[in-house]
C-alpha cells in the first residue's frame, strides 16, 4: 500500500480545519521532548509505539531509555535472548508486546536484511503491528501520509464529530477510519500525528476532558451538546470473571526460590514465575518429586492481579527445600534470589511477592 490522497469534499475540508488547529496548538502546547522524538528513526518510533500501547507516557519513559541503551538497533534486539528482552520489560505488563517485538526484530534481520521496512504492508505484517501502529511509525518517522486510529485518536474523533455507536463495531470503526483519513494532511503529517495523539493523551482524556483549553472546542460536537462523557459510546463489557490458582514458593535455606519458565502462550508467556497449580493437592504432589523438599505447604496471603479480561487470585504455598540444586528440569527451572536476580523476566506481582518473602523477618507477616 502506498500513501493515500486525502478524502474529497466536505469531510476533507472539516478534516483540514481540524488538522491545522491541532498543528498550531501543538507548536505551543504539544509534547516536544519525549525520548523517542530525539534521533527519530522507524526503529525508535516502533519501540515507543509498542510500549505506549495500554501504557502511559510517564511509565514508559524509564523503560524506553533502558531498552534503547541495551538494544540501540534492530540487530541488537534480534541478537538478544528473549529472556533478556522480557527482563527489561518486567513490570511494564502485556508481555506479548515484548515477545512480538523480539520476533519482529528477528524477522526484520532475516527477511529484510536488517533494515526496518519502509513499505506499509510489510510494516503492518510485523508481529504485534497492525494498521494504526504501522501508520504511526511511517507518519512519525518518515513523514508519510497514513491515518492512525489508536484509542486516544478514536476518542478525539468520536467526540469531535459526534460519532455514535460502539467504536469496536465494524461500521463505526469504518466511519472513524474514514474520518481519520479525512483529517490526515498531506503536509506536516508527522506534526499532525503527534498533535492528535497528544491531544487525546493530555486534554481529551477519558475522564474530565479539558475542553476549555482545547483547540477544537468551537467545532466539537460533544462539547457543543454536553456529551463529552457519553462519547465514544462505552463498550458493553461482560462481568469480569475471577480465576483462582495456587503457586508453589519452594524456598532454600539461603532464601532462593524455585521459578519455572511459563509456556509461550497464555498469561505472562515466557516469563519466569512460581510453578502454578489448579489445586493445593496438585502442588503437594509436585513437591514430593522435588529433591530435598519438605512438607507441609503453608498458604500465604493472596496475591491479586487484574488482567484485561479477568482477575487472577493466587494463593502462594510456602515450602522449604534442603537440596541446594534440586530442580525438576534445569532448562525450565531456576533458583532465584532477589539479591542476585540475573537477567530473567518476572511478572511484577511475583517480583513484589519475592521481595516481600525475602524481607519478611517473620513468616507471620506473610500471612497478613
d(CA 41, CA 321): 50
Q: Minimum CB separation from ligand SF4 for residue 4, in Å?
A: 24
Q: Which of 49, 144, 187, 230 is catalytic?
A: 49
Cβ neighbors of 159 (< 8 A, separation 6 or more) are 204, 209, 220, 221, 222, 223, 227, 228, 231, 232
| Beta carbon nearer to ligand SF4, 16 or 282 | 16
49 is catalytic: yes
**Minimum CB distance to ligand SF4 smaller for 51 or for 203:** 203
Q: How far is the CB of 12 from ligand SF4 (least distance, A)?
A: 19
Long-range CB contacts for residues 111-119, cutoff 8 Å, separation at least 24: 114/74, 114/75, 114/78, 115/74, 116/41, 116/42, 116/43, 116/46, 116/74, 118/42, 118/142, 119/1
Percentage helix, strand, coil, to 5, in the chain?
45, 15, 40
Cα–Cα distances in Å, from 315 out to 21, 169, 182, 274, 303? 53, 38, 52, 11, 7
Could you tell me which residues come within 8 angstroms of residue 23 by beta carbon, excluding any fewer than 6 positions away? 185, 188, 191, 192, 195
Q: Are 259 and 298 in contact (CB under 8 A)?
A: no
Q: Whose Cβ is closer to ligand SF4: residue 90's or residue 228's? A: 228
* Residues in touch with ligand SF4 (CB under 6 A): 156, 159-160, 203-204, 209, 211, 214, 216-217, 220, 222-223, 228
The grid coordinates listed for 224 are 457543543
Q: Which is nearer to ligand SF4, 29 or 360 (CB)?
A: 29
- 206 or 309: CB nearest ligand SF4: 206
Least distance from ligand SF4 to the Cβ atom of residue 81, Å: 44
Handedness of CA 187, 27, 194, 77 (dihedral sign): positive
- Report the nearest approach of ligand SF4 to the CB of residue 176 (Å): 14
Closest residue by Cα to residue 127 from 110, 148, 142, 141: 110
Nearest distance in Å: CB 229, ligand SF4 = 9
Residue closer to ligand SF4, measured from CB, 76 or 210 = 210
Side-chain half-sphere of 336: how many Cα atoms within 13 Å? Answer: 29
Tell me the C-alpha distance between 74 and 46, whole Å.
10
What is the nearest approach in angstroms of ligand SF4 to the Cβ of residue 185?
A: 18
Enumerate the active-site residues: 49
Amino acid at each position: 500500500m502506498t500513501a493515500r490522497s486525502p478524502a474529497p469534499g466536505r469531510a476533507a475540508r472539516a478534516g483540514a480545519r481540524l488538522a491545522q488547529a491541532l498543528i498550531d496548538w501543538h507548536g505551543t502546547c504539544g509534547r516536544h521532548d519525549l525520548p523517542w522524538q530525539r534521533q527519530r528513526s522507524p526503529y525508535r518510533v516502533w519501540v515507543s509505539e509498542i510500549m505506549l500501547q495500554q501504557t502511559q507516557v510517564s511509565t514508559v519513559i524509564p523503560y524506553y531509555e533502558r531498552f534503547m541503551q541495551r538494544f540501540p538497533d534492530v540487530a541488537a534486539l534480534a541478537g538478544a535472548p528473549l529472556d533478556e528482552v522480557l527482563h527489561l520489560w518486567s513490570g511494564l505488563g502485556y508481555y506479548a508486546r515484548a515477545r512480538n517485538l523480539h520476533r519482529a526484530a528477528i524477522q526484520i534481520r532475516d527477511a529484510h536484511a536488517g533494515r526496518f521496512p519502509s513499505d506499509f504492508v510489510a510494516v503492518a505484517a510485523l508481529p504485534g503491528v497492525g494498521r494504526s501502529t504501522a501508520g504511526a511509525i511511517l507518519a512519525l518517522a518518515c513523514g508519510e501520509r497514513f491515518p492512525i486510529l489508536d484509542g486516544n485518536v478514536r476518542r478525539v474523533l468520536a467526540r469531535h464529530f459526534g460519532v455514535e455507536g460502539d467504536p469496536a463495531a465494524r461500521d463505526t470503526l469504518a466511519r472513524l477510519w474514514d474520518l481519520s483519513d479525512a483529517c490526515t494532511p498531506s503536509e506536516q503529517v508527522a506534526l499532525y500525528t503527534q498533535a492528535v495523539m497528544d491531544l487525546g493523551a493530555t486534554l481529551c482524556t477519558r475522564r474530565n476532558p479539558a475542553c476549555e483549553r482545547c483547540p477544537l472546542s468551537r467545532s466539537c460536537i460533544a462539547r457543543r451538546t454536553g456529551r463529552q462523557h457519553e462519547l465514544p459510546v462505552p463498550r458493553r463489557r461482560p462481568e469480569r470473571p475471577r480465576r483462582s490458582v495456587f503457586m508453589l514458593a519452594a524456598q532454600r535455606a539461603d532464601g532462593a526460590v524455585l521459578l519455572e519458565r511459563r509456556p509461550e502462550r497464555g498469561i505472562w508467556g515466557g516469563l519466569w514465575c512460581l510453578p502454578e497449580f489448579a489445586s493445593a493437592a496438585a502442588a503437594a504432589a509436585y513437591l514430593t518429586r522435588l529433591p530435598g523438599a519438605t512438607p507441609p505447604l503453608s498458604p500465604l496471603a493472596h496475591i491479586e492481579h487484574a488482567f484485561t479480561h479477568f482477575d487472577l487470585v493466587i494463593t502462594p504455598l510456602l515450602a522449604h527445600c534442603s537440596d541446594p540444586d534440586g530442580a525438576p528440569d534445569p532448562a525450565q527451572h531456576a533458583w532465584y534470589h532477589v539479591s542476585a536476580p540475573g537477567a530473567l523476566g518476572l511478572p511484577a506481582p511475583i517480583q513484589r511477592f519475592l521481595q516481600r518473602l525475602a524481607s519478611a523477618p517473620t513468616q507471620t507477616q506473610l500471612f497478613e
